[in-house]
Each structure stands twice: as C-alpha cells, then as structure tokens.
Amino acid sequence: MAHTDKKTALNQGMIIFIFLAILTALEFFIAIAMDAVPLLVIVALVKAGLVMYYYMHIYKLNAEDKGDENSYAYKTGSNRLGLWLFILSDSFVFGGLAVSRFNLLGLTRPHLDQTLGLIVTAVLLISSFFMNRAETSIAHGDRKGFLIGTTITLILGLGFLLGVVGVEWPQAIHEGVTPSSGAAGAIFFMMTGMHAFHVLTGVIFLAIILRNGARGLYSEEKHWAVEAAAVYWHFVDVVWIFFYPALYLMGTVI
Amino acid sequence: MKNMKPVWRGLLLLLIGAVVGYAVGLGLDAFIGGRIDFVAPLGGLFALLGAAVAFFLGLVGYRGITRGLVFQVIGTLVGGFFVTGIRALMGLSTFGGFFFTEPAWVFGALVGVISFLVGVGALTDWFKWAKGEETPDHHDDPEGFVKYFGVSLDHKVIGIQYTITSIVLLGVGGLFALIFRTELAASQLQFLTTTFKAFDQNGLQFYNTLMSLHGMVMIVSILLGIAGVMNYLIPMLLGAHDMAFPRLNAFSYWIAVPAAVLLLSALFLGGFDTGWTGYPPLSTRSPVGIQMFFLGVFVAGWSSILGSLNLIATTIRMRAKGMSAFRMPIFVWAAIATSIISLTATQLIGLSFQMVMFQRLFDMGFFDATRGGNPVLFQHLFWFYSHPAVYVFVLPGLGVISELLPVFARKPLFGYKWIAMSSLGIALVGFLVWAHHMFTSGMNEYLRVPFMYSTLLVAVPTGVKFFSWVATLWKGKITTPTPMLFVLGGIIVFLLGGLTGPPNATVSTDLHLHDTYFIVGHFHDTMFGGYIFPFFAALYYWFPKATGRRMSEKLGKLHFWIMTPAFLVMTLSMMRIGLLGMRRRIADYDPMLGFDLTHLITTIAGYLIFTSVVIFLYNFFRSMKHGEEAEGNLWNSRSPEWQVPSPMPVHNYDQAFEVVGEPYDYGLEGSRYVEFAKSKKGN
C-alpha cells in the first residue's frame, strides 16, 4: 500500500466499507423478506472476499521479497505467511462450529433480538473500517491518524463485547435460551463465546499496539505488529460475517 | 551431594520427592476425607509431581523445566482455590472426592499450563515484545547438557528435547500396555479384579484407564517423535540456520510438557473408561480424569498445530539457493504433507473435546439426544482429525524410509516426483475418509459407500510408494547396517498393515470386524511399520549427526532381531483372535472361545518387544558418552548435513551451499547434489 498515495488508499477503504454496509443491509432484508439460505451464503462470501482482499491484503502473500534473508522486509514476509497459516488453522475451529450448528439445528434458529444483532454487526464492521484507516495511516507515516484509528477500533471492539456478552447473553437467558436449555442454546453460546474470546484477544493486541505506537515504535517501514493486529482484527470480522447470518438470519425461529 | 554425578543426584532426589509428595497428597486427602487412604488419588498425583520436580532439581538445579513444573503445581493450586473460593461464595459445593471439584480442577489445570510456560521462560521474549523491548535474534545456550532442560531457540536442541520426551512417553505408554496385557494373558480376572483398589478405581476401571491412556500417551509420544525428527532435520536439509520462528518453535515444544503432565494426572484423578476416543455420552459420565485427558490432548494439539505452522513457513521461506520444489529431499515433502494435516485438522479434535468439556461443566447439551443434541456429531468432528492423524504419524516415517533406502541401496530413488506427490495425495485423500470409522455408528446410511470408496482410494498413493521402494531396491548394492534393517522391517510391517486395511474399509466386512482385535492388530501394524520402525531407523541413522558418536551395531541388530519377529507374532495373533470374536478394550473374555493360548503368546511377544526396547534404551543412553566416535560421512550419504563434521555446529552450515543437481543420484558418475560456497558466509 505504501506505493499508492495516502488519500487514494483511505478512499478505497471508505468505498469498500460502503459496499460492506450495503451488503449487510441487503442480507438483513433478504432474511426478512424470504427464506433464501443460498443467497445469504453468497452475500456472506462476497463480504468475506472484500474484507480479505481489500482490508487483509491477502495478495501481499504473493509479493516479491525485498532484501536479504536477515532484513526486516524479508522477515515480515515470513511473519505474514505464518499469520495466514494461523488464520487458516483457526478458521477450522469456526468452520467446525458452523458445521455443528447446521448439524444440530438444521434450518432452524434460536429466538434472538434482531435489532441487537444488527447493531453489534454494524459496530464490528465500523471497527474494521477504522482499523483499516489506522493501518493505512501508519503505512504512510501518519502516527496521529494511526493512534486515532486504533483508539476508535478498540472502543468499538469493547462495545461489541459489551453488546454480545453484556446485553445479548443476559437477554437470551431471560428469553429462555440458556446454555443448558438444549442444542440451540448450547450452540448459540458456544459460537458467540468462541468469537467473543477471539475479539477479546484482538482487543488486547490492539491495546498493545496502541501503547507501543504512542511511544513511537512504529514507522512507515517497520510496523509489522500493526499489520498483524489489523489482519487478525479483520479475520475476527470475517468470522462474524458468517456467524451473523448463521445465528440470526438463516432458517426459521424455533 | 555437590560431588555426585547429576544423574545420581537426580535419582536420589526423585525418591525423596516421591515420598514427600506422597505424604503431602495423603495429608490433603485425609484432610478432606477424614481418614488415611494409602491408595488415595492425591497421594499418587503428588508423588508423581514431587518425584518429577525433585529429579530435575537434582539434575539441573532450579531452572528451566524444574521452575516450570514448580510453577505449574503452584498455578494449578492457585487456579483451583480461586474457583473453589468463588463456589464457596456462590454457595456451591467446595471440595469433592478428588480434593477440588471438577470446575476447579479444569480451571486450575489451565492456569497451571500457562504458569508452566511462564516459569520455564517460553513467553519471556514475547512479553518483552509486547512491552516494546527488543530482544536479540538468538540467545546463547548454556554449555553442556543443561541446555536441553531449559528454553533454547536452537532447532537442534529443540529437536533433541522433543525426541527424548517422546522416548520417555513411549516407555510410559508401553508400560501401561504391559500391565493390561498381563491381565489378558489368561481368561478370568487375575490381578485387576473387582477387589483391587487404586486411585479411587477398582481393577476393571483401572484396566480401562490404562487401556485408554496407553492410546493417548502413545499418540502424543508419536506426535512429539515426528516433531523431534522433523525439527532436527528440516532446517539442516534445507540449508537454513534455524526454523522460521525460533521462539514459536520453543513454545511448541514446551507446551507439550505440561500437556503430558495433565495427561498422566488423569490416571490419578479417577481415570476414565472411554478409550482414547472419548465418545459421549460415556465421556460425559466418566470421573474427573477425563477432563484432564481432554485438556491434555487440547494443549498437546496446540504444540502440533504451531509446530507444523512453523515447519511449512520454514520450508517455503528458508530453502538454500537452487533448491527448487523437486530438488528438496524427499523427507521434506513428507513433512510438508504431514504438516498440512496437523495445521488444520487438529483444531477439530480440540473443538470436539472442548464441547464435551463444556457439556460437563456448563451442562451444554451438544451431545445429549434428550435435548436435541447429537452424539454422532462428536464422532464426525473427532474423526475429521483422528483419521488424518494416522497419516500425520506415518507420513514422516514413510519419508524416512524413502530418504534412507537410496543411501543403502546405492541407487537413485525410483520415481522421486511420484513419491513426493503421493505424500500430498495421501494427505489430501486423508481428509475425505473419516466416516469409515463410523459404519456401525448409526450415521446416515447413504454416507457409507462414498466413504468406503474414498478410503480404498488411499491405497493408490500408498501403492505408489511401495512400487517405488521395491524398484529402488531392485538390483541395488544393498548393505544392511542397523538403520537399513529397520527400514526394511518397516516396509514389511507396513505392507502387512496396508493389506489388512481394505477389509476394514469395505462396509460389508467392517460390520463384522468393527471393534474387534483385528482392528487392534491392523492398527499396530500401521503404527509400527509407519512410525516405530522408521523412527528407530532415523535414530540409529542420525544419532552420529547429533552426538558425534554412533550406537553399537551389535546391540542395534539384537534390538531389531528381537523386536521384529516378536512384533509380527503379536499382531498376527491379535488379528487371529479378532477374527474369532475377541472384542477390543475389554478386560476379560470367555475361555470357551478357545483362544487363551493365543492371548498368552501375544503377551509373551509384548514382553519381548519391551525387552528389545530396553536394549535400545541402554544402547541409546550409553552411546551418547561411550559410543564409537563417528565424525565424518558415516553412511556415505549425498545429503548436505553429512558433508560437514558431526556434531553439527550451532548455526548449522558455516558456508552456505547451493543445490546443483538431483538429490538421490547415487551411483551415477559425476553427479552432485550440493556445492558449498568457497568463501565464508558474509555476516
């Protein structure tokens, strides 16, 4: 990204965000209007593809290496590969959970608060937008933009956690969807719980880069930690892109 | 005590530690139970922990692993008391038959694992990075054998740590097997009777625990064994100075140690009776031991996942100049194939075990059919890893066979590209066969035939390997030092394992063979042929590289000639009684079935295998100091690691090498594989 100028890069992030927002609204209305699971899957795949390409920059894996084996650039290339391998591995956990959800519940879903679901989804999506701004800023040497972007992302991440664990969980329990109420409750708490755990680790990661960034440890050339935190954060968002329709939109309410 | 040899000091302290630990455990147990019980769970657990801590304290002092274990014990207690305190505040029960309640044990065990990692120092550099401090690329290791007992970033040290841990667990798992094999020598119950009592289990429960733990301890041992061989060899074979992520490498090893402790602690905390598969609903009713088992496997899984991540990244990023994909040593291909499986599929066994843990802890009804759960789901998730896992175990072994055959046949490896691709083929097909373990489980019937065909498909890439091995041997100038003997033995045993596979893959015959000793015989054939024999071959072959000395040929051959016939007798007997109707995993059988004698022969063969492994262990540890010196290219290999003196220098190659030819052109005149640069590496 360092080759394009900062304004273009930020605008691109904005355009992708608008696309994602439209698609999220679209899937919400599809789910209200009709029973179209394949369509929801396609929308989720498109959203995930957009995030992975434009926010997580998966194409960088293919980038040509600069410098010799001991240089920062070459090591960053290795680190990037390692992080993506980790993401591949981790996605099998979430894949397994999704498979379990459809095995146990089929095309039914627990009764959940739709407004709240849409709000937390929007919060996570917006946080991805600001994460992208933060990373783009530091890649162009703009430390202030980076700090502002990371701070907003961190707050939104905490907001998401509060929304899911602090509001949605008690509300679901109040409605009778508890961990022990049956397969639907169990799978709901397992999926959101596993995702929330990943959000929590992401928040910790963000706090670390925020502190180190405030001390001026990252520069235009050397900011692997920021890139890693960003890619991980977007990955957590990608997981939610699939979990949100799987839990809130697909199938009929039991 | 200062003047004693460290080993003797360690062993002396081991005894003291065991006694002290036992007393502490009995005391705690009496405190809760109100009376002294000499076979109480805590007595055994604390005796084990006390012995381990004291042994390492005597051996290397309070550092590295000693500190880690102390931290783990303290961490477990702190975590346990924390949950107990919360439970007390909530008005729930606070102490149970195993001192802590189940949630307290689980939380304590998790805190214990993290404490171990902090104590041993595997997280130190990462904490520094998080604080924004810089650390040197590599830390210097202390001199002497002490470096093997603390965190080292050198892949060779880590490889040896893995290998030794694996051998220790191999011994433990083997001992478990010997105990229950002895019980099986004759029909009726002899010593594991209903009046037998140990760690809150009667004889039959104890049999179940040993049988289950034998399975999982051996699996972890194998995972550590292949990780050891791969860790030690891959960077050397690639011409790299280390793995891509040295700290992650150390972390992957050190997280396996507390995992092993957890796994063994299951023996004392009531054990479990599910077998290594841990199927619900039985596993939701087992004693608390099963939680330790689940957690141990979960944590050991992370070791496997992160190790394979590191290995793939190393192979992609750190190859020597000129080493294109099809000029890599064949073992590297096998390691890549194995790593692809363990990187991804391992998560699924972790997930399935986690779900049972949560069902027990939070009453989440994933596998409870009365609440809409589905026990068969567990089997799908579980076998999605656990079938490919056997390819994780055997692929590196088959890689070792392919690597060593040309050296001792003095001929090019036949069909290099086919072998390389067959490893990947086995790995990929391996993802699509899991449900052949479930033909009798009550899963949807239409799944049976597709899974039967996909399973039979595995025979194709495996057959490619066999044809290539035979063609490589054909008209070769074969010599048979110990490593080659184990390679040939491995081929024969694996062939037997391979041929007994299709009857289990075919639905019609599997319905008869399922859960019989035929499966047990088949499985041990594949594991010995695909892992144990090649693992021993690799140890005999690369031992001089690691130590600069070689192991005794005489004892090595004795080891081979006792183990191989005994092993063949053992598995063929197992298959025979299996066909006659002996079920697996049971402690007793009907004398009227008429195979008492075959069981006796199996047990005797088992003891012979044990004897041969004891000979190996003596040879192994003795040769480290007293073996014949062997510093040069002992086996006349073309591989780069043998072109430099043994033992290997700290940063591997002083001069970088370039690959200029094919790796296995043995016997072809004027062919070269690697060429070392004339000048020193510029650093």
pLDDT digits (tens, 9 = 90+) for B646-673: 888 888 888 888 998 888 988 888 888 8
CA distances from B279 to B168, B368, B423, B468, B519 (A): 28, 12, 30, 39, 18
Kindly provide the residue ranges of all beta strands, DSSP E only, lying in B229-270, ordered along the sequence: none
Touching check for A107 and chain B: CB below 8 Å? no
Q: Is residue B620 part of a domain?
A: yes
Contact A103 B372 (CB under 8 A): no
Q: Is residue A57 part of a domain?
A: yes
**Cα separation, B223 vs B45, whole angstroms:** 25
Q: Contact at 8 Å (CB) between B242 and B208?
A: no
What residues in A contact B371, CB-CB < 8 Å? 180-183
State the pairing for strand pair B201-202/B674-676. Answer: unpaired
Enclosing H/E stretch for A131: helix A114-139
What would the pLDDT profile of B515-524 be if each residue is shown by its tens digit? Answer: 999 999 999 9
What residues in A contact B316, CB-CB < 8 Å? 81
A–B: how many Cβ contacts below 8 A? 103
What would the pLDDT profile of B196-232 be if each residue is shown by its tens digit? Answer: 888 889 999 999 999 999 999 999 999 999 999 999 9
**Cα separation, A196 vs B229, whole angstroms:** 38
Touching check for B318 and chain A: CB below 8 Å? yes
Write down the pTM of the prediction.
0.94
Contact B344 A89 (CB under 8 A): yes
Return the closest-CA partner of residue B231 out of B212, B248, B206. B248
- A184 vs B129, B318, B372: nearest CB: B372
| Nearest-neighbour CA in chain B from A77: distance (Å) | 9
Mean pLDDT across chain B:
92
Touching check for A31 and chain B: CB below 8 Å? no
Q: Structural domain tally of chain A?
A: 1
**Cα separation, B57 vs B248, whole angstroms:** 26
Return the closest-CA partner of residue B305 out of B249, B257, B353. B249
Q: Is residue B365 part of a domain?
A: yes
What would the pLDDT profile of B476-510 be if each residue is shown by its tens digit? Answer: 999 999 999 999 999 999 999 999 999 999 999 99
pLDDT of residue B676: 86
Residues 184-243 of A with CB under 8 A from B: 184-187, 189-190, 208, 211-212, 215, 217, 225
Q: How confident is the model at residue B679 (pLDDT cuts 50, 70, 90)?
A: low
Q: How confident is the model at residue A84 (pLDDT cuts 50, 70, 90)?
A: very high
pLDDT-wise least confident of A46-50, B162-166, B377-381, B660-664: B660-664
Tokens of B220: 């972890």
pLDDT at B26 over 90: no
Touching check for A180 and chain B: CB below 8 Å? yes
Quickly count: other Cβ atoms within 10 Å of residue A135's Cβ: 28
What residues in A contact B443, CB-CB < 8 Å? none
pLDDT at B680 over 80: no
SS3 B441: coil
pLDDT at B354 over 60: yes
**Cα separation, B243 vs B36, whole angstroms:** 52
**Cα separation, B293 vs B102, whole angstroms:** 13
- Domain of B257: which CATH number? 1.20.210.10
SS3 B444: coil
pLDDT of residue B493: 96
**Cα separation, A2 vs A229, whole angstroms:** 18
Q: Is residue A223 part of a domain?
A: yes
Find, in chain B, the residue whose alpha carbon is nearest to that of A207: B130
Q: Is residue B91 part of a domain?
A: no
Touching check for A100 and chain B: CB below 8 Å? yes
SS3 B676: strand
**Cα separation, A88 vs A231, whole angstroms:** 12
Q: Is residue B45 part of a domain?
A: no
- Domain of A114: which CATH number? 1.20.120.80
| B136: DSSP letter | -
What would the pLDDT profile of A213-254 be if each residue is shown by its tens digit? Answer: 999 999 998 999 999 999 999 999 999 999 999 999 998 887
**Cα separation, B69 vs B254, whole angstroms:** 11
What residues in B contact A185, CB-CB < 8 Å? 364
Residue B659 bridge partners (DSSP): B674
What residues in B contact A181, CB-CB < 8 Å? 371
What residues in A contact B370, CB-CB < 8 Å? none
Q: Is residue A192 part of a domain?
A: yes
What would the pLDDT profile of A129-154 be if each residue is shown by its tens digit? Answer: 999 999 999 999 999 999 999 999 99
Q: Is residue B426 part of a domain?
A: yes
**Cα separation, B270 vs B199, whole angstroms:** 6
* pLDDT above 70: percentage of residues in chain B: 99
What would the pLDDT profile of B102-119 be if each residue is shown by its tens digit? Answer: 999 999 999 999 999 999
Three-state SS letters, A14-45: HHHHHHHHHHHHHHHHHHHHCCCHHHHHHHHH
pLDDT at B285 over 50: yes
Q: Is residue B640 part of a domain?
A: no
**Cα separation, B333 vs B324, whole angstroms:** 12
Task: Return phi, psi of residue B639, to 5°.
Answer: -65, 145
pLDDT of residue B681: 44
SS3 A109: strand
**Interface confidence (ipTM) of the complex:** 0.94
* pLDDT above 90: percentage of residues in chain B: 75
Q: Is residue B177 part of a domain?
A: yes
| Nearest-neighbour CA in chain A from B433: distance (Å) | 17
**Cα separation, B504 vs B516, whole angstroms:** 11
pLDDT of residue B148: 92
- B365 vs A180, A215, A225: nearest CB: A180
Q: Structural domain tally of chain B?
A: 1
Find, in chain B, the residue whose alpha carbon is nearest to that of A179: B364
What would the pLDDT profile of B255-270 be if each residue is shown by its tens digit? Answer: 999 999 999 999 999 8
Note down the domain range covering A136: 6-253
Note down the domain range covering B390: 136-629
Touching check for B132 and chain A: CB below 8 Å? yes
SS3 B112: helix
Tokens of A139: 């890649």
Residue B674 bridge partners (DSSP): B659
Touching check for A179 and chain B: CB below 8 Å? yes
Contact A89 B309 (CB under 8 A): yes
pLDDT of residue B683: 38
What residues in B contact A223, CB-CB < 8 Å? none
Find, in chain A, the residue whose alpha carbon is nearest to that of B130: A208
| Nearest-neighbour CA in chain B from A201: distance (Å) | 13
pLDDT at A40 over 70: yes
pLDDT at A1 over 50: no
Contact A183 B373 (CB under 8 A): yes
| Nearest-neighbour CA in chain B from A208: distance (Å) | 6
Residues 282-301 of B with CB under 8 A from A: none
Instruction: State the average pLDDT over residues B614-634.
Output: 92
Mutate one of A78, A84, A92 to test the B interface: name it (highest B CB count within 10 A): A92
Contact A212 B348 (CB under 8 A): no
Q: Name the one residue in this structure whose structure tokens are 């002899």.
A: B190
Q: How confident is the model at residue A3 (pLDDT cuts 50, 70, 90)?
A: low
Instruction: State the average pLDDT over residues B138-147.
Output: 84
Instruction: State the average pLDDT over residues B245-255.
Output: 95
State the pairing for strand pair A108-109/A252-253. Answer: parallel
Instruction: State the average pLDDT over residues B439-459.
Output: 91
Contact B355 A190 (CB under 8 A): yes
pLDDT at A68 over 90: no
Mutate one of B303, B306, B347, B434 to test the A interface: name it (highest A CB count within 10 A): B347
pLDDT of residue A2: 47
Q: Is residue A1 part of a domain?
A: no
Contact B366 A183 (CB under 8 A): yes
